Structure 1
Amino acid sequence: MGVSPLENIDTILVLLIALLFAVAAVAGLARRFALSYPIVLVVFGLLCSLIPHVPRIPLPPSIVFLVFLPPLLYVAAWQTSWREFRYNLISISSLAVFLVFFTAVGVAFTAKWWLPGFDWRLGFLLGAVVSPTDAVAATSIARKVGMPQRIVDILEGESLLNDATGLLALQFGVQMVVEGTTPSLGRGLLEFAWLTIGGVLVGVVIGFIVSSLERWVDDGPVEIALSLVVPYATYLAADAAKASGVIAVVACGLLMSRRSSTFFSPRTRLQANAVWDALEFLLNGFVFVLIGLQLPYVLAGIKGMSRVGLVGYGVAFSAVLILLRLAWMFPASRAAWWVRTRIAHQQYEQPQANQVFVVGWTGMRGVVALAAADSLPMTLNDGSPFPQRSMILFLTFTLILVTVVLQGLSLPWVIRLLRLQKHDGGYCEEGQARHLMLQAAIDFLTERRISARGEGEVHLYDDLLHQFQHRITSIDLCGPGGESSPSTGNGMTMEGLLLETVRRQRDELNALRENGRIGDSVHRSLERELDLSESRLA
C-alpha cells in the first residue's frame, strides 16, 4: 500500500515551505497593487485547487479551533481599543448576539422553501454555521479601503464576540438535528450566560496571573515565549470549564494589552510586537490560502447535482444572507441609538443611512464558519448519515467566497458611491496627546533646572528646553505628528536627562489613557515612539 503524501514528513515540510513562500509572494503582490491580501490569498488558493495533481491539504476543525483561532483572536483583542469597545458595546452586542440568532432563525424559515431536503431544523443549523463574521477579513478590508474608524471599531467588536454566540447556536442546531429535540429558552439563556460570564472570568483570571508573573521576568525571549503560550492556555482552560474559549481569549487579550504598559520594558515591547506582527501575518495567510484550497473537499460529498445548479444555490444563499443582515441593520441601529442615548445616556449621534448600509454590507465570513460546517457529525444517533452535511459545507464555502471576494472588492466602490469619507478623530487626539506629553517634559525640565549645578548644567537644561519648546509650537493639534523627543547629544549627561524626560512623557501618556482622554490606538502609536527613543538612549 502506498504512503499518503501527508504521512510523509518530507512532503509535509515541502508543502509548508511552498505555502509559506506562496503566502509571502502573493501578499506582497497584493500590497504592491493596493489590494486587501485576504481577498487575493483566497482567490489564489481557489485557483490552485483547480490545478490537476496539486496535493490536497485538509483543514480539520480541530486545527482551526485549537491552532489558528486562539492567537488570531488574542492579537485582534490586543489591537482593539478598550475605550471604543466599551463605548460601542451596545451596538456591538446588537450584531454579535442578536443578529446571530436573527440570522439562524431567518435561514430556518427561508431555507425550507427553496433548498431541497432542508426543514426548519436544518435551516437553523445552516444559519448558525454561517452567522459568525471573520475578524481578519473585515478589519483588513475595512482599513484598506479607508473606512471611517467609527465603523471599523464596531466591525472589530462584532467579529471578536460573535464566534462564541455562533458556536452556541451551532450547538443548539446540532442537538435539534441529531437528537430531534428543541432546547428550552431557559436552558439556552443559562448556557449563554455561563459561556459569556465564565469565559470572561477565565480570561481575566489568567490575564491577572500572567501580568503578575511578567513583573518578575525581565528577559525578552522568555516574555515573548510566555505571550505566545497565553492564548492557547486561556482557550484550553475555558474549554475545560465548559465556558467560551473565544470570550476568554478576547477578555485576556484586552486586559493584557491594557496592562502591558506596566510590565513590558520598551525593548521587549518592540520585540514582542515584531514577533506577533509576523505570526499574525503568517497565520492569516495560511488560513486564507487553505480556505481556497478546500474546494475539492467541498465538492467531493455532493452527488447527483450539476455544477451549475450548485452555483445557483450558492449564489442565492449568499444573497439571502446579505439581505438578512441588511434587513436587521436599519431597525437595529436605530434601536441601539435609542438605548445608548436614552438609557446609557451616551453622547452618540444617530448613524446615517450610508453608515448603516456599509456595516450591513461588510459581513465577511471566514475560516470559523468553514470549520463549524466541517465539524458537523457524520451520523445521527441512529447511525444514519447526517442529512445535507455536504450541502451545508458547500453553501458555507460559497458564502465565504462571495462575502470576502465580491463584497470585499466592491467596498471601495460602495464607499465612494455613498460618499462615506474617513473622518479620523484620532489625529486630533494624537496631536493633543503630543502637546500634553511635551508640556509634561517641559515642566519636568523646568523643575530640574532650578537645582542645576554650574553653568554647564544650566546650559544643558536651556538647550533641551529650547528643543522641546520648538517641538510644542510646531505640533498640529488635529494632524499626525513626528517623533516626540528631540535629538540626543553626545554626552552621558544629555542621554541620562533625555531618558528621564522620555519616562516622564510616558507617565503622562499612560495617565491620558487611564483618564479616557485618548484611545488605545493613539496610545500604542505614541508608546511605540517613546519605546524607540528609550531603547536608543538606554
Structure 2
Amino acid sequence: MHSLLPFFLIMIVVIILLNMLATKLKVAYPILLVMAGLGVSIIPGLPVVKIDPDLIFFIFLPPLLFEASWTISFKEMKKWYRIITSFAFVVVFFTALTVALVSNYFIPGFSIVLGLLLGGIVSPPDAVSTGAITKFVKIPKSTSTILEGESLLNDASSLIIFRFALIAIGTGQFIWTEALGSFLWMVLGGTLMGIILAWIFVQIHKRLPTDAPSDIIITLIEPYIMYWIAEKAHSSGVLCVVAGGLYLSKNRFVFLNSSSRIKGYSVWESFVFILNGVVFLLIGLELPEIVKGIRSTGLSLEAAIWYGVLVTVTIIATRILCSYAALIMTLVFRPQVFKMNSMATLSDRKRQWIMPAILGWTGMRGVVSLAAALSIPVALHDGSPFPHRDLILFVTFVTILLTLVLQGLTLPYFIKKAKLFDEELNREEENSIHQKIKSELSKQVSLYIQNNYQENIDNDHNLKTLFAHVQSKTKVTDDQWMNEEGKAIYLEIIEFQRKYLLNLNKQSEIDEEIIRRKLYQFDLEEERLKTI
C-alpha cells in the first residue's frame, strides 16, 4: 500500500495538469487522459494497477450518476422525454443486438449471447466525454438536455442487457418469461426504491440539525446507499441512483440551505472530476494487461484490433441510422415537435437533416463501458475460464479509444463547419430572456417592499436607499447598470480589499474566522459580477 500511495498521488497531479493542458488546447480532457495513460503504461517498473471487478461499479458509478442527475434540468427532461427514452432504451437495445449479430458473423467462436454481452458493454455513450467535448462548442439547450438525459438512462438499459447476458452465459439457458419479470422489477423496482430512499434522505436533512459539512457528507454517501440497497434487492442500482438523484435535485431548495448548496457544489465538482480522471487514466494504463491477455489466448494482435475497429464502426453507424430513423418517425407522426424545437428557427432545410448525423456522432464511450468490461468474471461458476474475456476487454478498449479520439477530436469541427446554430442569435435570445426575468423579479421585489414595509421605508433611510436601488434596476439593462469598464474597476477594488484583509490577518489578532467570512463574501460578489 505504501509503495502504491506515491503512484496514486502522482496520478492525481497528472490528471490536474492534463486538464489544464486540455483547457489551453481546447481539447476534451478525457482524450488527453487516455493518451497519457497509454504513454505511461509503457514505462517500465511502474506498479500494475488493478481494481476488484466486484467493486468497480460500486466505487465509480453511483457518485457519477448521482452528480449527473443533480446537474440536469428535470423540467427539460420531461419536455424531451420521448426522444430521450428512445435513445436511452430503443437505440441501446438495437445497438446491442446489431453488435451481437456482427460479432457472431465475423468473430470465430463468438456466440449471439457473447455478442449481446459485448453489445451491452459498448452500447451506452458516455456523458462525461460528450460534456467535456461539447463545452468548447455552442449547442442548443435542447440538444444538451437530450444528450445528458440519454446518458442517465442508457447506463441502466445497457447494464440490464449486460446482466442478462452474463446469466445466460453462466447458466447456458435464457427463459424469456423470467427475463421479462426480472426486467420489470429492475426498472420499476429500482425507480421506486430510488424515490423512497430519496424521500427518507430529505427528511433526514430537514429534521436533523445538520450544517453544511454534514449535509455534504450525507449527500456523498447517499448514492452508495441507494445503489447498494437496490443491488441487494436484485433491482437496478443505476435507476435507483438516477431516480433518487432527480428527486433530491428537484427538492434541493427545500432541505439544503444556501451554504450547503454553494459548498456542496464545489466539493462534488472536485470529487467527480477526480473520479472521472482516474477512470480515464486507468483506461490507458490497462492496455498492457489487456494486450498480454490477448496474446495468451493465441489470437494475433492485428486480428483483435480489426475486431475492435469493426465493432466501433458498427456502433457509430447504428447510432447515426437510429438518429435518422427517429427524425423520420417524428416528421411522420409528430411534425408539430419541430415547431418547439430549436431547429424550427433554421431556414435551411438541409440543416434539419444534418442534425441527426451530429447527434449520432456524439456517441463517445467511456466510464460505464470500461467498468462493465472489467467486471466480467475471470471464470464461470464451474471454474472454467470465461469465454473470450480478454478479447471482449480488448475490443471494449479499442472502442473507447477510437470513439474518444476520432469522434471527440472531430465533433467540434463538424458542428462549427455545419453552422447549425447561430451563436449570436442564441446569445441575444438568452440575454433578452435574462433581462425580462431580472426586470420582472425586481418589480416583484419592489411591490413586495411597498406592500409589506412601506411604513419602515418612510422611517428608515437604509431601507429607503435599498428600495430606490431596486427601483432603479428595473429601468436599466445590465450594461447600463454595470458596464465593462465599471466591472473592471469594481473587480480591481475587490482584489485590493482582499489583499488588505490577507495582510491584516497576518499583522493583527483579529479572529481569522471573521476575516475568512468577509473574504468569502468578496468571492461571492466576484462570481455575481461574472453573471452580469
Under TM normalisation by the shorter chain, which class is it? 0.7 to 0.9
Change (3 A) 1:449 1:368: closer
How far did residue 188 of structure 1 move? 3.2
Cα drift, residue 45 of structure 1: 1.0
Tell me the amino acid that sits aligned with residue 390 of structure 1.
D
Q: Distance in 2 between matches of 1:453 and 1:370?
A: 62
Verify: 1:222 aligned to 2:214, yes or no.
Answer: yes
Deviation at 1:379, TM superposition (A): 3.3
Following the alignment from structure 2 to structure 1, what is the Cα–Cα distance between the partners of residues 419 and 447?
A: 45
2:12 is equivalent to residue 28 of structure 1: no
**2:327 is matched with which residue?**
333
3-state DSSP class of the match of 1:473?
coil
1:464 CA displacement: 2.1
Instruction: Report the CA distance shift for 1:428/1:207 in structure 2 as closer, same or farther (over 3 A).
Output: farther
- The 2-side partners of 1:104 and 1:452 are apart by 68
Aligned to 2:388: 388
- Deviations along 1:482-536, one digit per CA (max 9) or x if unpaired, are 99xxx9xxxxxxxxxxxxxxxxxxxxxxxxxxxxxxxxxxxxxxxx979988xxx
Distance 1:61 1:378 in 2: 9
C-alpha distance in 1, partners of 2:328/2:342? 11
The 2-side partners of 1:337 and 1:350 are apart by 13
Query: Aligned residue for 2:440?
Result: 436
Question: Are 1:73 and 1:249, in contact at CA under 8 Å, matched by a contact in 2?
Answer: yes
State the distance in 2 between where 1:471 and 1:292 align: 53
The match for 2:505 is none
1:201-216 equivalent positions in 2, closer than 5 A: 201-216=192-207
Aligned mate of 2:165, from 147, 159, 173: 173
Say if 2:299 is the partner of 1:305: yes
Cα pair 1:64 1:367 within 8 Å, conserved: no
Cα distance, 1:64 vs. partner? 2.5
Alignment match of 2:84 (pick from 87, 92, 116): 92
Number of equivalenced pairs? 476
In structure 2, the CA distance between the partners of 1:375 and 1:454, relative to structure 1 (3 Å rule), is closer
* Cα distance in structure 2, aligned partners of 1:435 and 1:453: 22
Match of 1:136, SS state, is helix
Contact 1:442 1:465 in 2 (8 A): yes
Equivalent residue, structure 2, for 1:42: 34
Choose 45-54 or 116-125, whichever is displaced more.
Answer: 116-125
* 1:241 and 2:243 matched: no
- Summarize the alignment of residues 96-495 of structure 1 with structure 2, pairs less than 5 Å apart: 96-184=88-176, 186-216=177-207, 217-303=209-295, 304-336=298-330, 347-348=340-341, 352-380=352-380, 382-421=382-421, 422=423, 423=426, 427-452=431-456, 455=459, 457=460, 459-475=461-477
* Cα separation, 2, equivalents of 1:241 and 1:404: 35
Distance in 2 (alpha carbons) for counterparts of 1:232 and 1:530: 35
1-side partners of 2:205 and 2:526: how far apart? 18
Change (3 A) 1:203 1:400: same
Q: One-letter code of the match for 1:108?
A: A
TM-score, normalising length: structure 2: 0.83
Task: Determine helix, strand or coil for the equivalent of 1:35.
Answer: coil
Deviation at 1:267, TM superposition (A): 1.7
Q: Is the 8 A contact 2:457 2:463 kept in 1?
A: no
- 94 and 337 in structure 1: CA distance in 2 versus 1, 3 angstrom threshold: farther
Shift in Å, 1:98? 0.8
Please identify which structure carries the higher helix content: 2
Question: Aligned pair in 2 of structure 1 residues 310, 439: CA closer, same or farther (>3 Å)?
Answer: same
One-letter identity of the residue aligned with 1:235: Y
Q: Which amino acid aligns with 2:251?
A: R
Aligned equivalents of 2:29 and 2:524: distance in 1?
27
Structure 1 residue 214: Cα displacement: 1.1
Change (3 A) 1:74 1:310: same
Structure 1 length as normaliser, TM-score?
Answer: 0.82
Judged with a 3 Å threshold, the aligned counterparts in structure 2 of structure 1 residues 192 and 266 are, in CA distance, closer, same or farther, namely same
Structure 1, unmatched stretches of 5+, are 1-8, 488-527, 534-538
Q: Distance in 2 between matches of 1:222 and 1:453?
A: 39
Cα distance, 1:346–1:355 mapped onto 2, change above 3 Å = closer
Q: Give 1:172 deviation, angstroms.
A: 2.2
Q: 1:281 to 1:436 in 2, by over 3 A?
A: same
Tell me the amino acid that sits aligned with residue 370 of structure 1.
L
- Which deviates the most, 408-417 or 112-121? 112-121
Paired AA for residue 11 in structure 1: S
Q: CA RMSD in A?
A: 2.8
C-alpha distance 453-408 of structure 1, shift in aligned 2 (>3 A):
closer
Q: Distance in 1 between matches of 2:216 and 2:478?
A: 36
Q: Determine if contact 2:276/2:367 at 8 Å carries over to the other structure.
A: no
1:4-23 matches, cutoff 5 A: 9-23=1-15
* Bigger mean CA offset, 88-97 vs 363-372: 363-372
* Structure 2 equivalent of residue 490 of structure 1: none
State whether residues 305 and 395 of structure 2, in contact with CA within 8 Å, keep that contact through their aligned partners in structure 1: no
Give the fraction of aligned pairs with identical amino acids, expressed as a percent.
Answer: 35
Determine the C-alpha separation between the residues in 2 that align with 1:100 and 1:211. Answer: 33
Distance in 1 between residues matched to 2:328 and 2:430, nearest whole Å: 25
Instruction: Please identify, of 207-216 and 332-341, the stretch whose mean Cα deviation from structure 2 is larger.
Output: 332-341
Q: Deviations over 1:288-316 (max 9, x none)?
A: 11111110121121133333333233222
Structure-2 separation of matches of 1:171 and 1:278: 31
Query: In 1, are the aligned partners of 2:294 and 2:301 still within 8 Å (CA)?
Result: no
Partner AA of 2:292 in structure 1: A
Query: Matched residues in 1 for 2:339 and 2:179: separation?
Result: 31
In structure 1, what is the Cα distance between the partners aligned to 2:339 and 2:190? 27
Q: 1:476 to 1:453 in 2, by over 3 A?
A: closer
Structure 1 residues 106 and 427, CA gap change in structure 2 (3 angstroms): farther
